[in-house]
Amino acid sequence: MNLGEQIIQKDGFVSSAGDKVIQLSKVSMGYLSGQEVLRDISLTINRGGFYFLSGASGAGKSSLLNIMALSIRPTKGSVQLFGTETTGLGRHKLPAFRRRVGTVFQDYRLIEHLTVEENVGLPLKIAGEPKKEIAKKVSELLAWVGLGAYRKARPEILSGGQKQRVAIARAVITQPDILLADEPSGNLDSALRLKFMYLFEQLNKGGTTIAFATHDDTLISMFDYPVLRLKDGRLVS
C-alpha cells in the first residue's frame, strides 16, 4: 500500500463524535488600528468531521483558519487544540501542535526556487525524517495526485490546478489529524473543483478532520456537511 492509500485508509483517528479537536470560546481578533476582524467566535470542531466555513470575502474566514492553525493568536478568548489550551503556551511548544495540522492556501504558498518534490517533502525534512524515507513518501504521494512526471519541475511552469495538487500533497504528507483549507478551489473551474472535493472527501473518510473555507454557496449546496457561516467577523450559523 502506498502513502496515498495509507492516508485515505488510515485508521485509529476517528473516535466518538464528541471528541473535540478544536474548540474556540469567545475568540476575537483585531489589528492595532482597533479594527476587529473576528468578534466573539465560539465553535467546536469534532474529530472526523467535515465542515464548510462560509462567508463573503473579508468576512474573516482566513483569520479564523489561521487562529485554528496557531499561526496567529487571538486578541481575546480561548483556543483549545486536541484538548489543550494553547493561547497561553510559549512559542517553543506550538510546533508540536502545528505538526498535527495541515494547511492548504488559495495562493498555494509554494517555494518557487524548490522543485515539486522538494516542496512536498519540506514538512518531513523539517521534522527530521531520513532522506530515503522522504524520497519514498514524496514519490508515492506525487503519483497518487497524478504529478509523478513533474517531480523535478519548479512551480513556475505548473498550471493553477497542478500547483493546488502540490499544495495538497504537501499538506497531507505528514498524515495530519486536521486539514484546514482556505479557498482551495477558488481559482479552479467547476470540473476541477469537484475533483478536489472528491480528494478531500476521501481524506475525511480516512479520518482527517477537515475545515474547508469557501464563498461558493453552489459548491456547499452539493454536499451535506455542516456549515459555519461568518458575516462581518461574527459566526451567524
Give pLDDT, residue 17.
Answer: 40
Q: What mean pLDDT do residues 95-107 have?
A: 89
Name 8's Cβ contacts closer than 8 Å, sequence gap at least 6.
202, 203, 205, 206
The answer to whether the CB of 78 falls within 8 A of the CB of 91 is no
Q: Strand, helix or coil at 84?
A: strand
Task: Say which residue, 198 or 113, is predicted with more confidence.
Answer: 113
Ranges of each domain in the chain: 3-9+17-229
d(CA 177, CA 10): 11
Residue 5: predicted pLDDT = 61
Q: Look at residue 23 and tell me whether its pLDDT is greater than 60.
A: yes
119, burial (CB in 10 Å: exposed 0-12, middle 13-18, buried 19+): buried
**Mean pLDDT along residues 115-121:** 97
Question: Taken in order 122, 147, 53, 38, is the CA torsion positive or negative?
Answer: positive
Helix/strand/coil percentages in the chain, nearest 5: 40, 25, 40
Q: What confidence score (pLDDT) does residue 196 get? A: 79
pTM of the full structure: 0.85
Where is average pLDDT lowest: 134-143, 147-156, 176-185, 223-232?
Answer: 176-185
How many residues in the chain?
Answer: 237
Q: Which of 4-8, 24-28, 170-174, 218-222 reaches the highest mean pLDDT? A: 24-28
- CB 95: neighbour CB atoms within 10 A? 11
- Is 27:61 a contact under the CB 8 Å cutoff? no
CA distances for 60 relative to 36, 71, 111, angstroms: 10, 15, 26
Q: Which residues of 137-154 are buried (b: 16+ CB within 10 A; e: fewer)?
A: bbbbbbebbebeebbeeb
pLDDT of residue 35: 81
The CATH number of the domain covering residues in 3-9+17-229:
3.40.50.300
Cα–Cα distance measured from residue 195 to residue 164, given in angstroms and rounded to the nearest whole number: 12
**For 133-159, what is the mean pLDDT?**
94
Is the pLDDT at 52 greater than 90, yes or no? Answer: yes
